[in-house]
Structure 1
Amino acid sequence: METMLAGVAVVAVVCLLLGLLLRRRLPAVSAWAIAGFVGAVACIGVLTLTPAYEVPTVIAAEDRPETCSLDYGGPSPEGFWIVGGGQRLLNMVVFVPAGALLVVACARWRAAYALVPLGLLGLVAYSVAIEWLQLELARIDRACDVTDMVDNSLGAVVGVGLGLLLAVVLRPWRSRPTRGQSG
């Protein structure tokens, strides 16, 4: 767990610096939304690709699963060792910020009508890629599961919906660059 928390801390520092850098060229809402989106995506990677336990079990090559579980609902456990509650809810919730920040980050530009759906497809593809890596890297004590892909994708969709509401409230398209900013 310490490795995971250290990874999240590194992501936070890098995204803070990215936000400060973007702030020189973009209005605050857009700069911080872009930095937050990058951070959310990076944190998903840290949370899902860091070994589940401090000392992962050794899985012999012949015991390694060859395919992703297509049994909708399993093999994920009901609880998760960091946050109480269902694994499926956690899988969904972890993608919500990325979906919401995607919308807010793109809302400033007219291209958002194309960027948001493409970004949503990108988040779904990211979920599939993570599950594939979990299958290929069996030694990290993670399981490839179609349920995770569905739950992650649903979280991204819910996040996009929340992002649409946030964009209406924050109105990043109305933000004017301050002195020294372009855009």
Structure 2
Amino acid sequence: MVTIGGTGVMVLGALAAAVVAGLVALALRQRVGATTAVSVAGLLWSLVAIALVTLVPTRADVGIVPAESRSESCSWDYGGPSGAAFEVFGLDQRTLNVLLFVPAGVFLVLAVGRWWSGVVLAPLGLVALAAYSLAIELTQLQLARIDRACDVTDLVDNVLGAGTGFVLGMLLLPVLRPWRGRVTKVHG
């Protein structure tokens, strides 16, 4: 049986996604300016990183979790028992869940902030980030083999992180001014 998982796989996937995101930024830079290009690429990278962190098994040796032993529903125990059980860099799982979605919220606002339609697209994007978190939790519930748990606390923390990133992005808009990066075409 071949299993794939662990932090090494997550990091390798994030690095590969960063290379692709860098190429996307380079391809978009002339058309939309550097700030928007980096923001679009950053948003795409952060969505892939979120998927890697939440959907790749935490250990390579997890194997297949029998369907009869997996949970049949999401945990509605807000703040549940796993909050402090998982720590990285001295941060608990709840803090990590919030921080995981902050970049996506920031990049979302900066990616659409160059256009007037961003006034509508940014809030819709925030709703889409909440839906993305819900989709991840439901995927964790359905896929027995990844040994993950669907938890309402994760959903709330992820949405809080996306909202925090959204506010930070709004604060960065007047500083970075992505609308300045317009490139005019020269006809010759």
- TM superposition score normalised by structure 2: 0.91
CA distance in structure 2 between the partners assigned to 1:85 and 1:33 by the alignment: 27
Residue 173 of structure 1: CA displacement?
1.6
Q: CA deviation at 1:74?
A: 1.6
2:54 alignment counterpart: 48
1:113 to 114, 119, 123: 119
Return the letter of the residue paired with 2:56.
Answer: T
Aligned equivalents of 1:25 and 1:58: distance in 2? 46
Aligned AA (1:33): S
* CA drift at 1:37: 0.7
CA distance in 2 between partners of 1:179 and 1:82 (Å) = 48
2:66/2:144 contact within 8 Å kept = no
Distance 2:104 2:172 in 1: 13
RMSD: 1.5
Q: TM-score, normalised by structure 1?
A: 0.93
8 Å contact 1:104–1:167 — kept in the other structure? yes
Total equivalences in the alignment: 180
- 1:152 is matched with 158
**Aligned positions of 1:62-77 closer than 5 A:** 62-77=68-83
**Whole-angstrom distance in 2 between the partners of 1:81 and 1:2:** 17
Give the structure 1 partner of residue 148 of structure 2: 142
Instruction: Note the alpha carbon deviations across 1:63-105, whole angstroms, 9 max, x for none.
Output: 1111000110124241435432210000000000000110011
State which of 167, 171, 180 in structure 1 corresponds to 2:173: 167
CA distance in 1, matches of 2:172, 2:82: 32
Moved over 3 A (4+): none
What SS is found at the alignment partner of 1:157? helix
Partner of 1:97: 103
SS at match of 1:126: helix
The one-character-per-residue Cα deviations of 1:110-129 (angstroms, maximum 9, x if unpaired) are: 00111001000000000000
> Hey, what does 2:4 align to over in structure 1?
none
Counterpart residue number, 1:78: 84
Unpaired stretches in structure 2, ≥5 consecutive residues: 1-6
Query: Counterpart of 1:137 in structure 2: which amino acid?
Result: L
Q: Distance in 2 between matches of 1:53 and 1:105?
A: 34
Contact 2:87–2:93 (CA<8 Å) still a contact in 1?
no
Structure 1 pair 14/29, CA: closer, same or farther in 2 (3 Å)?
Answer: same
- The letter for the 2-side match of 1:121 is V
After superposition, the C-alpha distances for 1:152-177 in whole angstroms (9 at most, x for unaligned) are 00000000000001111101122331
- The answer as to whether partners of 1:75 and 1:145 remain within 8 angstroms in 2 is no
Structure 2 counterpart of 1:38, which letter? L
Match of 1:127 in 2: 133
Code of the aligned partner of 2:15:
A
The residue aligned with 1:34 is 40
In the alignment, the residues of structure 2 paired with residue 115 and residue 59 of structure 1 have an alpha-carbon distance, to the nearest angstrom, of 40
Structure 1 vs Structure 2: percent identity of aligned residues? 51
